Structure 1
Amino acid sequence: MQLFQCQACGQRLYFENVRCERCGRALGYLTDVGVLSALEPDGAAWTAYARPAGRYRFCRNWEQMGCNWMVDAAQEHTYCAACRHNRTIPDISLAENLINWQKIEVAKRRLMYAILRFGLPHPTAASGDPEPLVFEFLAEVPGGPKVMTGHDNGVITIALKEADDATREAARASMGELYRTLLGHFRHEVGHYYWDKLVRDGGHLESYRALFGDERADYGEAVQRHYRDGPPVDWREHYVSSYATMHPWEDWAETWAHYLHIVDTLEMAGAFGISITPTVGDDAGTQTRISFDAYHAGDVQTLLDAWLPLTYAVNSLNRSMGQPDLYPFVIPPPVAIKLGYVHELVARARGLG
């Protein structure tokens, strides 16, 4: 994620800002140029400082403060490039649903930012693609079925209850997870979607199976075994998380999610000009200066050489505040190889590899 700047007054801006705190101008994200822009009203539309020649409308979901992305006023679309993927949202006439849906939309836009930055395919239901990327945000109703977060043939379902901090934390603790966030759910589930697109449809099944295992293993049996027996005792030597040990599909999705964690966090660290140089010790592996575009890194080692020192620093800062580690994971060599595999497929998908 980047930092942005108000084109009218120079104020530093953050991705979710909807109004400049200094000059008061409305702000909107322009997907065609990848910039959060100051806006001026122009009749029924808006003129963007970042692209004065164009005229824009806010996404229809802006009316519920659910989206700050813009649509080209010359297009017929009423929803932005992110919200066109929504198929189902909860009943937002209910105040609690509205609040939780807004939280989900924040995480979704961060996911879609990454997809656009990578240049990954993201067909909508209207595109005619046989497996479009579709989101369903579902609330449980009394007497109705339990809503499970997951992916099925291009449809990513996020249970609305995951947006409730107390409920999500209770689930994290009861399941013994180190990390559980809305954005993490999106990144993991979209990993399953891109397994379909990049591995299965991309002709990479053999290389995938050689690294992650054979996905044809019975998934239901794998789930039962995982929750009955737990992960292998040596899982930390081969997997990024215990959940990744359950099935080759989950190993891929967990690795994919961590790749997105790494890239997006490094981009933000670079935007802040962060460098890590401990005042004691002489281990070069704890030092870094993040001065590159993480979304276009030439190889995964460039990312890891910056990521590991950054995690040592931020984890130590969190501990100083009495908080758990920001990144409570270890990246052993086999996981680094898997991350490199994801990196290469992403590069190929945008025509760089």
Structure 2
Amino acid sequence: MNKLWMIICVSISIIFFAGCDMQKQAKVLDFDSIKLYELQNDAGMTVKITNYGAIVTSIVVPDRDGELADVALGYDRVEDYINAVDKPYFGAVVGRYGNRIAEGQFTLDGETYTLATNNGPNHLHGGTIGFDKVVWDGSYIQGDGYTGVELTYLAKDMEEGYPGNLNAKVTYKLTDDNELVIDYYATTDKATPVNLTNHTYFNLAGEGNGTILDHKLMINADYFTPVDSTLIPTGKLQPVKGTPFDFTSPKAIGRDIEQENQQLTFGGGYDHNFVLNKDGKNMTLAATVYEPASGRFMKVYTEEPGVQFYCGNFLDGRLKGKSGKPYVYRGGLCLETQHYPDSPNQPQFPSTILRPGDTYNTRTIYRFSTK
């Protein structure tokens, strides 16, 4: 039997969960209501998650020579997540609606709802106090070939302007195959838009080790959603062929990023939703990322119709992470699996409306290896 450990670390007393055997063990140190969970498998991969914001704080994986490095941008202290300038959403679950909603408004079943405009004229990532800034309830889970964490949060009716009491649940599972599996669930008592995603910034060379411009990226998408100057989709689907947005074959992220292109200007680089090549809700390969120097390789699979590729255009060196190194301009990349931005206002996009009696349920997998 493989050994799998889970450690929940924060600060005061140690207890052991009932039912743990000698090979699968867990311990918890509790500091008020905020905890840090550590998952480890026999392959040497370690993932840390806190119930503050359901944040992935660390992902440690080996390179082609077996050397370990943390490839997720973030901090060692919860205070740094709470007090960070610019709120970059390092590692967080964002919601109730991830990404942007135009002018902080949408109309549903004849009623108009007003949200916070916290990103220029638009609403971003759930508002002023979104899911990334609340304390979730957490518990240890384990099964055949994985160990993990289950996090739950009740977003009350009209919290941040959204209708309905939304019961949200996110599970993180670390498998023996070096996969981080994220499952999102939600139910509601009123119709409401829901679009949950994870906002981890990756640098496969190791967090704080320069830019991600040499990373080779493939995105399984023949189309992307062009945006206006405030990064709201125009409603059209534009072919990537012949543009800097063509990642259908792996290429270095920095190869085309400085081209004169209105869309790149609007995003300050890549900060766009890509329309994945898929049929329905089937699990699909969304993207791959390869870092040549270390040999680290990541595949992203999802049931979602889109993925937001963001290349750290707003990082500027002011934030320092776990290694003490500054997070430089374009020092991390995000691949946020999602429904399209502003879908509540764009009926031609796949719907994000969850209704009473239905269950929101979607899975994303980040799989790590080397080559």
Using the size of structure 2 for normalisation, the TM-score is 0.26
Q: Which has the higher helix share?
A: 1
Using the size of structure 1 for normalisation, the TM-score is 0.27
CA radius of gyration, larger in: 1
Structure scoring higher RCO (CA < 8 A, sep ≥ 6) equals 2
